[in-house]
Structure 1
């Protein structure tokens, strides 16, 4: 603790400082305290007061010359007081005279010695009363500290009030600052901890991905897409191994030289390649889906910065065959048809590879494959490639012959609802789907384009009237000589008729008779049957863009609505809806849900999902369906549908000629509209239902003349292909070959990896058809585009050309069949 200098005359045992030591004669020995500090004296008590209480008569009050209120610092050296204070602080007579030094020097103050008598030591009571002297509070004293080695106790250090208050303020301020600092540290530490938690836990994936992209880049490996096959396994879409070429421009040495060497291999212009190789982007595609041979030629260049990644090539080996059903695949997956509707199943699971980066951020060769791509599953359709081929052949011929705006044929199996063929013109090649004049060529008109069916819709009216008992087949109706007026509107027949039975109304497609039947049936009942047959709602086939058609509810009908609806106007339907409704009649009144996908199978060929036929509802009673079928047979045999007849088979059907609404005049145009025919065969045991439709054909006016012959041509081939024997012809003579031969495995038409999808397809090779049923043999020949002549029934025992022969364009294949495989067992074979 800092001390002041001891004055001259003070005992040697006296310790200088603000507190007098035991044995001090006078408080005047201490230069570090002012007894006249009133605040200190009044609140804390003065050192002299403490000394006086401990040693009465030994403390002399200080002189009046002491500076008031001044506190002297306690340096380690001698006390320094101004000389002007020394004279007024001299001791009693007899003591040594004070020696004054210069300004700021020390001064010795005389006082009684340690050996003076007690009477010489002034007591507090002897001190003169000084009004300026503060009173000392009695009773304040703390037990002093014991000095080492002396046995004496020191009085406690007594501080002034200002010093105590200042120290308290300083302690409080320091404590506050410490607490604030500690709180700030806690808040900062908590913030840092929370931020670390956010970065390490919440944003872990994001930040780790950013860090990974700094030294590597992920490349997706496309999985091999699953095949699409017909009901017999013939491929409609397949994938072939291929590789896609990409470049890392920063790693390319000489872009000009690389472009010159690469252009003739990948068949891309040098200017286009050079622009890609000098691009600022780190990754650019140069050519997608190169065949293996071309990819091998690129590898031989050994140019840095060029890389190949596996990317299977999608091929459509039959080109336009079933293009609107199969659809096509683009860079981002399926875009139309089954390719789009079943994209998730066909696409499989993509793989993943890592392309590394060097220290400068330049991409280097592929390092490793993180995830191997998993091949997609295959889809088996209900389509039959041979029926599809026959339908497209006949529709294409009619489309070209009539210069129609569009043409289509839809074939369905009535007992299961399986769609066997959908032929649409105009069409496109899925291998080059962008090479079309308009995207309308992609449109599947059978499900997306509704049309007014016309007289074919009279079958729905007849079914409802027969089921409700409104009419019977022999009920008679007057034809009004070909014209009837309703609500000041006259509706004409295409021919003047008198009295007609209900069967004759359908045979001759009488408008007047149909209107009278419709009025007798009523709006509510007619609307109920129209919705029961599936009109006004999608069929649920599963293809994108299917239309529901248009069928208004009876409250929205006008006075003319019921008569015109009885003629197939004021209602729009799709071709698929019409075929589905007729299938209900052919199936004994039970409507089946249309089915296009038969099953799904994995890469090993094992079936993983199967879709069974589904009955929707019983629309009409079986007896009503049989009655209506007999009427429809008469339409073909003796009515407007005679051109649809198939020799040897009973055909039931109805023709249709519908006018189209002119958007300019809002009236029905007199120009040719939609000409159609809908029917099924054989009528007593239907194997197929077919709709044929021509949209705005040139030089054609009636559906019986334009559409019915197409139905007959397709139906004849289909019945032969389905091995349905004629009903009114003798059995054909069976012709067989002389010897047996081992049946070879089935030849599947799959394009090789080197084939060009933009070319004319794969070179056709005659497959081995011996021992196969006619249906399977024709299905195998259909994609080859050859005409087939068949002799007999059953399995193939002889074929021309021979298996493995190249098929020249326009060649005709001749097949000889026998009802069983006995010929093969006897050792018969081709000569």
Structure 2
């Protein structure tokens, strides 16, 4: 009986073991086969953290492949709160290196998260100090930070990128879709206890870098323009200044300088006004430089010839219950002399001879009242009202450069059309886009927008504008050995306190091109609110000469024998 009972217990135990074994086998099969994929994902989540970084932002070069903007690998610091024993101590150790308050760091390190950024895109030395410190639960990864090796050079054109590597101004903003790199997920590993995080695959091939850009700008020409502009603004105690140098045959911008400058490497403390590109965002009344366009219209419409006679009214001309003044009294003068002497009365009479609609139509044809279409953000349209909105004096005022708002870019584009034989070109600053492998993606070809005057008119007007430099108000723009065509301008600004034109708030400018017979450079110099003498021929023309002389020498343009304009032949 006892033997039978013992055998029964053995059978029960054996069956229990078999059932238990079968259950274990079923569970193992379920875990290792049926739920394998799901459990693997859960395990990865416990031991890995995905952080999104981006491929390097594309490099920006000048026309001669000199680097103007590039990416540098710099350290970014993260923390793993779960692996920290004492967040307060860690925060106090990090604070003097990261230059962040310990209380702020401690707050981040006490969050119930597996990963937190503590500081991003630090200086390399900070990264080295962190590595030497070797704190548990704190790690370093390398990220790209935008760097401008030339500092303030071309800053208003380049713009800058923000902490997230997004373009915020200038070329950086306009070509954001090309410059930005591809996003990549970096896997940060943790051990079973969550005590450390290690970058995985950071040295492996990551996402593709952004496209590179080649500009039309020449860094040497840009340096010359910025240097001379800064000195001119300082010398005249002016509010600001602008220079644009353009190839009139193609519309390619060779230099675009704005003073005061800024350093795109350190924009954090600057007001937005400091990085605004005044060359294309700010409008001003052009004054007498607009007479070049009015003269073009008069010659094209055969309203005037170089020898046409205009009565100067002895320096005072009454119109619409107002008086137009000239800075020197004149009787009868020729159309050519009107351009040379920059006669306001003469310009007003030429405008009146053309009539409202023809003046308006030619201003529109030369690009005023419209954007030039340059590949930079923030371009202003300017101000050009239609004739139906003009007052009784508007035709005369516009003909001498008042009641119309222009940008320096619009003005230099317009004079480039005269230099280019009458063809208006679209200005541009980016010539090529290449991918990370160096393959050409896009190329900008010179684009003619329209013919605004005939080549004959352009040649005649060029000769008249040479007379401004050889015998007129632009004498200080003369460059030895070269024929220079240009026009001075001095415009009164409206005093915001009185709402009337000010006798002291002026804009002095010079607009021209050289060599006149085969132009290589078109240039505008604008000096805003100079103190003392504000005449364009005094504050702006000498800057044109200094820049032009150096750039022509740099480009290796051969000098000519000095040429003097034979006005007698023109006026016959």
Evaluate the alpha carbon distance shift between residue 262 and residue 357 of structure 1 in structure 2; reply closer, same or farther with a 3 A threshold: closer
Task: Show the counterpart of 1:601.
Answer: 434
Whole-angstrom CA distance in 2 between matches of 1:489 and 1:211 = 87
Match of 1:669 among 483, 502, 507: 502
Residue 462 (structure 2) pairs with residue 629 (structure 1): yes
* Alignment partner, residue 345 of structure 2: 512
Give how far 1:249 is off: 2.8
> CA–CA distance in 1 between the matches of 2:198 and 2:354?
77
Deviation at 1:693, TM superposition (A): 0.5
| 3-state DSSP of counterpart to 2:120 | strand
Secondary structure at the aligned position of 2:352 is classed as: helix
Contact 2:83–2:194 (Cα < 8 Å) also in 1: no
2:487 is matched with 654
RMSD over aligned Cα atoms: 2.5
> Could you tell me whether the CA contact under 8 Å between 2:251 and 2:413 is conserved in 1?
yes
Secondary structure of the corresponding residue to residue 239 of structure 1: strand
| DSSP-derived class of the 1:466 partner | helix
Aligned partner of 2:553 in structure 1 is 720
2: CA distance between counterparts of 1:605 and 1:367? 28
Aligned equivalent of 1:327: 159
Q: How does 1:483-502 map to 2 (within 5 A)?
A: 483-502=316-335
Distance 2:112 2:356 in 1: 70
In structure 2, the partner of 1:590 is 423
Candidates 439, 442, 446, aligned match of 1:613: 446
3-state secondary structure, aligned to 2:374: coil
Residue pairs, 1:12-411, within 5 angstroms: 217-266=49-98, 268=100, 270=102, 272-279=104-111, 283-290=115-122, 294-332=126-164, 333-355=166-188, 364-366=197-199, 372-411=206-245
Listed one character per residue, the Cα deviations across residues 191-243 of structure 1 (whole Å, up to 9, x for unaligned) are xxxxxxxxxxxxxxxxxx99997886431112111111100001111112223
1:475 to 304, 308, 311: 308
Match of 1:546 among 379, 395, 400: 379
Deviations 1:783-824 (A, max 9, x none): xxxxxxxxxxxxxxxxxxxxxxxxxxxxxxxxxxxxxxxxxx
| Alpha carbons 1:241, 1:291 under 8 Å: kept | no
Q: Aligned-pair distance for 1:494?
A: 1.3
For the structure 1 residues 283 and 426, does the alpha-carbon distance in structure 2 shift closer, same or farther, using more than 3 Å as the test?
farther
What is the Cα deviation at residue 304 of structure 1?
2.2
- Indicate if the aligned counterparts of 1:221 and 1:309 stay in contact, CA closer than 8 A: no
TM-superposed deviation, 1:372 = 2.6
Query: Partners in 1 of 2:88 and 2:106 — Cα distance?
Result: 6
Paired with 2:326 and 2:194, the residues of 1 have a C-alpha distance of: 82
Q: Distance in 2 between matches of 1:220 and 1:250?
A: 21
Match of 2:269 in 1: 435
Separation (CA, whole Å) in 1 of partners of 2:43 and 2:97: 38
1:381, distance to aligned residue in structure 2 (A): 0.4
Which residue among 260, 270, 277 is the counterpart of 1:444? 277
Q: Which structure dedicates a bigger proportion of its chain to helix?
A: 2
Instruction: Provide the residue aligned with 1:412 in structure 2.
Output: 246
Q: Which range moves more in the overlay, 319-328 or 360-369?
A: 360-369
Q: Distance in 1 between matches of 2:338 and 2:544?
A: 22
Matches for 1:671-686 after TM superposition, within 5 Å: 671-686=504-519
Q: Are 1:696 and 2:526 matched, yes or no?
A: no
Report the Cα offset of residue 697 of structure 1: 1.0
Which of 533, 538, 560 is matched with 2:366 structurally?
533
**Structure 1 residue 528 displacement after superposition:** 0.8
Give the Å deviation of 1:302: 2.9
Instruction: Report the CA distance shift for 1:291/1:487 in structure 2 as closer, same or farther (over 3 A).
Output: closer
CA contact (8 A) 1:527 1:553 kept: yes
Check conservation: 1:355, 1:363, Cα contact below 8 A.
Answer: no
CA distance 1:569–1:222, change in 2 (3 Å): same
Query: Quick one: structure 1 residues 489 and 363, their matched pair in 2 at CA, closer, same or farther if it must change by over 3 Å?
Result: farther
User: Does the CA-based 8 Å contact 2:84-2:195 persist in structure 1?
Assistant: no
TM-score (norm. length: structure 1): 0.60
Equivalence for 1:458: 291
How many aligned positions are there? 521
Q: Name the counterpart of 1:687.
A: 520
CA contact (8 A) 1:409 1:690 kept: yes
Q: Indicate how the Cα distance of structure 1 residues 722 and 364 shifts in structure 2: closer, same or farther if over 3 A, else same.
A: closer
Secondary structure at the counterpart of residue 520 of structure 1: helix
Considering Cα pairs closer than 8 Å and 6+ residues apart, tell me whether 1 or 2 has the greater RCO: 2
Report SS of the residue matched to 2:417: helix
Which residue of the other structure, out of 533, 540, 543, is the alignment partner of 1:710?
A: 543
How far off its partner does 1:558 sit? Answer: 1.3
Larger Rg: 1
Unaligned ranges ≥5, structure 1: 1-208, 730-831
Query: Whole-Å Cα distance in 1 between the matches of residues 440 and 125 of structure 2?
Result: 34
Question: Does the CA contact (< 8 Å) of 1:221 and 1:351 recur in 2?
Answer: yes
How far 1:661 sits from its partner (Å)?
A: 1.7
Counterpart-to-counterpart distance in 1, 2:143 and 2:184: 11
Shift of 1:424: 0.4
**C-alpha separation between the residues in 1 aligned to 2:315 and 2:195?**
85
C-alpha displacement of 1:542: 1.8
Point out where structure 2 has 5 or more consecutive residues left out of the alignment: 1-40, 563-572
- SS of residue paired to 2:416: helix
Residue 410 of structure 1 and its aligned partner are, at CA, apart by 0.5
Structure-1 separation of matches of 2:74 and 2:225? 33
- In the aligned structure 2, how far is the partner of 1:665 from the partner of 1:313? 48
Matched, 1:578 2:411: yes
Contact 2:58 2:180 in 1 (8 A): yes
> Which stretch shifts more, 399-408 or 718-727?
399-408
In the alignment, the residues of structure 1 paired with residue 538 and residue 473 of structure 2 have an alpha-carbon distance, to the nearest angstrom, of 9
